[in-house]
Chain A
Amino acid sequence: MSMHTLLQYKWGMMTPEFIVLGTALILSLMDLFMPDDKDRRPLAWIAFVGVAIALIATIGLIPAKAVSILNDTFRLDAFGKAFKLLLLAGGALSLLLAFDYRPKEGLKDRGEFYYLLLCALLGAMIMASSGDLITLFVGLELLSISSYILAGIRKTSMQANESAMKYVINGGISTAITLFGMSYIFGLTGTTNIKEIALEVQKLTDSGYQYILAIAFLMMLVGLSFKISSVPFHMWTPDVYQGAPTPVTAFLSVVSKTAGFVIVLRLFITIFAQAPAQGKDPSSLLFSMQDYIAFLAGATMIIGNTIALKQRSMKRLFAYSSIAHAGYILVGFAAMSWVMIDSIWFYLLAYLFMNLGAFAILQRISDEADSDDLSHFAGLYQRNPLLAVAMGIFLLSLAGIPGTAGFIGKLNIFLGALMTEPGHYVLAAVMIAATVISYVYYFGIFVQIFFRPADETSSVRLSIGLTIVVVICALGTLLFGIVPGLAYHFLEQFDHFSDFLQ
């Protein structure tokens, strides 16, 4: 590749990625040259500003036409843009949480903490835009490896060590399984470029190839279920969520999960929706695999919600809740209706606000008590009524009560499941039943906050970073719950992701 071709690429399309990368570089250099005894917390603001600029740059790119550069390995289409916005917003808010993270034993490697978070975010962004299995995998691993370190960054904590260990091992296995599936695809088509794969698989009408494709599909689905923490690779979630620093947990539950869904949608829709399937009825391999995805969705919702009932540790509870939410989103995927991408995008948007908001408050409460037991929420209403109400909003949204973004998100997914012919009645019924089960534990937290007396009477005060997160998240949760048209109107600009589906 000559210099000439390199310069021809529209590098401007990668501006957000470059900004995040640049910020990470600056931070790492500053961290290196700053005196050891200097407080590194203010670095978080630089990271935050960097991500915010990247977010603005992404918004600036929205009107641009779909483009693919670097030999089709990097695609900037409506799909990538829409999901990158979520990733960046989630990353920015997680950084604010990280700024205010004060574990009892202190945190020595703060500089690393911030730029690793940025690297993970960069990986997620690359995943959202990748047009090639290789870039996709690189993005995935950048996200994963950064996350492994982040999970174990509290070096002296036994729990953090355990969690990082579990995360690495589980992550390694899942990566291997994903890669195994990808290798089948490569073997069948002889290319790693997703668009070319999509063209090649259309020619694979022989039933023998289709079995191999189906195996590839299932392998990749199982492997990627790790990132979105759905069944069968969900077991790491509670342990890692509990052991990792709270901002990292928040990051994993929002940004990492969004990235997981991005990769799932991009890969499976572009590749398997084109592949012909056996039999007459289903129009493509993806449709013939619908039942498997639906089964995973159902199992994820049931397992997540029922095990959450018994949790006393808030971080474990939120881990199971996040498993359950992955199940709801998978319902949107399994239904394969016309509203699939819109509904998943909206749900992830709602999830971003409600979950990060809840984690911000959780971080404050558990930092103070040095434990994340449910009982520390007792009497929060007396200690800070506004904070209690904010937590109430997040929990109502997570439970899917009207007036919040979570309700609209669920409604949309639900609508998608029932508007197809034949409708997914069983799946919709499981989703509804799971939601009712989830009432028990979400309202259980309510009981603690509003009904139980507090052990301590001192009022709870939020620091600046957490306040910003809580305010933004509460406003977002309510705003998109009351005027969801805002978000859907915004999505209309993307023209139903037609440039992605083509």
Chain B
Amino acid sequence: MNGTYFLSLLVFSPLVGILLLAFVPKTQERTIKWLGFLSTLPSLILSLFAFVQYLRGYRLEHLAEKHDWVRFADFPFLTEPTFAIRYELSIDGFSLVMIVLTSLLATLAAVASIHIKKEWKGYFMLFLLLEIGMLGVFAAGNMILFFIFLEITLVPMFFLVGKWGGFERERAAYSYLLYNGIGSAILLIAIIVLFARTGTSNIELVKEMLHNPAVEAQLVAPISNDLRLGLFIALLIAFGIKLPIVPFHRWILRVHVQAPPSIVMLHSGVLLKIGAYGLIRFGIGLFPDQFRDFAFWIAILGVVNLLYGAFLAFVQDDFKMVLAYSSVSHMGIVLIGLGALNEAGIQGAIFQAVSHGFISALLFLLVSILYERTSTTAIDRLGGLAKVMPLTAGCLLAGAMASLGLPGMSGFVSEFTAFLGLFKTEPVVAAIGALGIIMTAVYLLRAVLNMTFGASKRDDVQALDMSLAEAIPVFVLLALIVMIGVYPHILAKPLQATIEMMMNGLGV
């Protein structure tokens, strides 16, 4: 395959959909929905194609793209054109996996968007813009481009939550905007400091400049150890807000509850992962020494996240809230894996990022199906679902099982490897953290069993089981979850090179 414009094509293919949608009259509901769905397919096909090729031994380096974009301060006395921001896209195994996850979830979320009630045209245009942003984040080869794509996700999310969300949608949209705006702002400071000091924003080049003492002379200005520490903490906070790490998690609850379920699929499936991705790519990638010093505290933060999320999920009455806290809790496992600072741990963290993407997408898809029929997500009002909607109830139970880490499903692999890693380095912390797994089982089973079994609380037997259009994405997701659970190698292989490189960087 010729790689010249492959990544650009992959990232920007939803743009075609946006342009086409602009010419479709507002009232053509069916056309718009079909067009929106079809527009997510090109990037899905391209990313799956790349994934298969990569598994067969294709080198992803060939896909890298580089074009001149903008140049600040092009001084005659500087021999190299520094302060140039190039349009650089490049991927490795890790980003490829995230791209596949993104494009897959985008397609499935587009299917789930059939429940959207109004203004489909605007909805799908923003939806596709969001997809461009998310794909771009993972394909970006330099930090400024990464930031630009990250900011591009901010705007459509604000509108999607604020216009198509639930009762308190505007508040949720604002809290999303402000929390993430602050996160991005801190990230921007860190990125620009690095850019200003090194003269380049290419991730690989910056990495080399930071670790190779020989190129110290090439730096525009020196980067002291104190500054490195400051930058690392800035990155930790910036991505900590996106992940979210516990004191910064309030916004995610509002978004999870208020946003339309199809958008929450993407938010919880992909956008939260950007935090993990950034922490791994920039945190470990650029500042391995600082990361090593902080590893213990990151593991602690992870345990706090895990337990805090789990305890609060236990006391919620609303299933959406249970899932929101469950997301907080599950992101703790990512941190635990990273804090372990060994191969198993990091592998577990990445696995968890991907696996939680599928699982939470599945659960929110089911929530959208339930809400469509019953107009509620309150647990005690949903009792006895198994009688009226056996298929949906069954899938819900399967999703919960995957989420609590039943062996044979993706959740198990990630939790297992993450904890395996931590038990090696910090057994005591790991032991406390392991309580969280039990808690997970408790809160998920409590919620799901209350919803599915017991006396049916519904006297209107209008509640019908899911239709074929709804069942397809559900089964696709379930199949993927089981596939990763049974055959984790399909993820482990593409990630191998990235993890090895990280371990090299960490020097452990």
For residue A343, which residues in chain B have a CB less than 8 angstroms away from its CB? 72
Known contacts A401-B154, A402-B148, A436-B185; is-contact A451 B163 (Cβ 8 Å):
yes
For residue A396, which residues in chain B have a CB less than 8 angstroms away from its CB? 155
**Are B70 and A485 touching (Cβ within 8 A)?**
yes
In the bound complex, what is the Cα–Cα distance between A273 and B189 (angstroms)? 28
Known contacts A433-B185, A439-B178, A443-B177; is-contact A415 B72 (Cβ 8 Å):
yes
Highest count of chain B CB atoms <10 Å: which of A337, A342, A411, A429: A411
**Are A419 and B69 touching (Cβ within 8 A)?**
no
Known contacts A408-B70, A439-B181; is-contact A447 B193 (Cβ 8 Å):
no
**Are B192 and A418 touching (Cβ within 8 A)?**
yes
The size of the chain B interface, using a CB distance under 8 A, is: 38
**Are B177 and A421 touching (Cβ within 8 A)?**
no
Known contacts A401-B151, A415-B83; is-contact A423 B71 (Cβ 8 Å):
no
In this complex, what residue of A is CB-closest to B76? A496
Task: Give chain B nearest CB distance to A450 CB in angstroms.
Answer: 6
In the bound complex, what is the Cα–Cα distance between A337 and B178 (angstroms)? 30
For residue A439, which residues in chain B have a CB less than 8 angstroms away from its CB? 177-178, 181
For residue B461, which residues in chain A have a CB less than 8 angstroms away from its CB? none
Task: Give chain A nearest CB distance to B175 CB in angstroms.
Answer: 11
For residue B178, which residues in chain A have a CB less than 8 angstroms away from its CB? 436, 439-440
In this complex, what residue of B is CB-closest to A346? B72
In this complex, what residue of A is CB-closest to B145? A402
For residue A419, which residues in chain B have a CB less than 8 angstroms away from its CB? 73, 83, 196-197, 220-221
Question: Binding site of B, secondary structure by majority: helix, strand, loop or mixed?
Answer: helix
**B55-101 CB contacts (< 8 Å) to partner A:** 68-75, 83
Asked if A174 is an interface residue, CB under 8 A from chain B, the answer is no
**Are A339 and B73 touching (Cβ within 8 A)?**
yes
**Are B188 and A432 touching (Cβ within 8 A)?**
yes
C-beta contact mask, A418-449 vs B, less than 8 Å → 1, else 0?
Answer: 11010101001100110110011001001100
In the bound complex, what is the Cα–Cα distance between A338 and B72 (angstroms)? 10
In this complex, what residue of B is CB-closest to A434? B185
> Which among B158, B185, B195 is the interface contact of A432 at CB below 8 angstroms?
B185
**Are B185 and A488 touching (Cβ within 8 A)?**
no
Asked if B46 is an interface residue, CB under 8 A from chain A, the answer is no
In the bound complex, what is the Cα–Cα distance between A447 and B161 (angstroms)? 12
In this complex, what residue of B is CB-closest to A414? B192
**A389-409 CB contacts (< 8 Å) to partner B:** 396, 401-403, 407-408
Asked if A492 is an interface residue, CB under 8 A from chain B, the answer is yes
Asked if A172 is an interface residue, CB under 8 A from chain B, the answer is no
**Are B72 and A412 touching (Cβ within 8 A)?**
yes
> Which among A402, A407, A423, A488 is the interface contact of B196 at CB below 8 angstroms?
A423
In the bound complex, what is the Cα–Cα distance between A439 and B75 (angstroms)? 34
For residue A450, which residues in chain B have a CB less than 8 angstroms away from its CB? 159, 162-163
In this complex, what residue of B is CB-closest to A485? B70
**Are A485 and B68 touching (Cβ within 8 A)?**
yes
C-beta contact mask, B332-374 vs A, less than 8 Å → 1, else 0?
Answer: 0000000000000000000000000000000000000000000
**Are B162 and A339 touching (Cβ within 8 A)?**
no
> Which among A425, A451, A488, A496 is the interface contact of B75 at CB below 8 angstroms?
A496
**A455-502 CB contacts (< 8 Å) to partner B:** 483-485, 488, 492, 496
**Are A338 and B192 touching (Cβ within 8 A)?**
no
In the bound complex, what is the Cα–Cα distance between A437 and B83 (angstroms)? 28
**Are A401 and B155 touching (Cβ within 8 A)?**
yes
For residue B197, which residues in chain A have a CB less than 8 angstroms away from its CB? 419
For residue A488, which residues in chain B have a CB less than 8 angstroms away from its CB? 70-72, 74
In this complex, what residue of B is CB-closest to A433? B185
> Which among B147, B192, B221 is the interface contact of A415 at CB below 8 angstroms?
B192
**Are B193 and A418 touching (Cβ within 8 A)?**
yes
**A336-395 CB contacts (< 8 Å) to partner B:** 337-339, 342-343
Known contacts A402-B147, A443-B174, A496-B75; is-contact A432 B152 (Cβ 8 Å):
no
Known contacts A338-B75, A415-B72; is-contact A451 B196 (Cβ 8 Å):
no
**Are A414 and B177 touching (Cβ within 8 A)?**
no
Asked if B182 is an interface residue, CB under 8 A from chain A, the answer is yes
In the bound complex, what is the Cα–Cα distance between A342 and B162 (angstroms)? 38
For residue A433, which residues in chain B have a CB less than 8 angstroms away from its CB? 185
In the bound complex, what is the Cα–Cα distance between A221 and B12 (angstroms)? 47
In the bound complex, what is the Cα–Cα distance between A440 and B170 (angstroms)? 12
For residue B147, which residues in chain A have a CB less than 8 angstroms away from its CB? 402
**B116-155 CB contacts (< 8 Å) to partner A:** 144, 147-149, 151-152, 154-155
For residue A483, which residues in chain B have a CB less than 8 angstroms away from its CB? 69-70
In the bound complex, what is the Cα–Cα distance between A485 and B87 (angstroms)? 12
C-beta contact mask, B167-194 vs A, less than 8 Å → 1, else 0?
Answer: 0001000100110011001101100110
In the bound complex, what is the Cα–Cα distance between A339 and B196 (angstroms)? 12
**Are B73 and A338 touching (Cβ within 8 A)?**
yes
C-beta contact mask, B187-211 vs A, less than 8 Å → 1, else 0?
Answer: 0110011011100000000000000
For residue A451, which residues in chain B have a CB less than 8 angstroms away from its CB? 162-163, 170
**Are B170 and A415 touching (Cβ within 8 A)?**
no
For residue B151, which residues in chain A have a CB less than 8 angstroms away from its CB? 401-402, 407
In the bound complex, what is the Cα–Cα distance between A414 and B148 (angstroms)? 15
In the bound complex, what is the Cα–Cα distance between A44 and B72 (angstroms)? 38
In the bound complex, what is the Cα–Cα distance between A432 and B188 (angstroms)? 8
**Are A411 and B192 touching (Cβ within 8 A)?**
yes
For residue B73, which residues in chain A have a CB less than 8 angstroms away from its CB? 337-339, 342, 415, 419
Task: Give chain A nearest CB distance to B40 CB in angstroms.
Answer: 21
Instruction: Name 4 extra pairs, CB < 8 A, besides A338-B75, A403-B152.
Output: A408-B70, A412-B72, A418-B193, A419-B197
Q: Which 9 A-B pairs have the closest CB atoms?
A: A419-B196, A402-B148, A432-B185, A418-B196, A339-B73, A484-B70, A436-B181, A402-B151, A421-B221
Interchain Cβ contacts under 8 Å between A and B, 23 examples: A338-B73, A339-B72, A339-B83, A342-B73, A401-B155, A402-B147, A403-B148, A407-B151, A411-B144, A414-B188, A418-B189, A418-B193, A419-B221, A425-B189, A432-B189, A433-B185, A436-B182, A440-B174, A447-B162, A450-B159, A483-B69, A485-B68, A488-B70
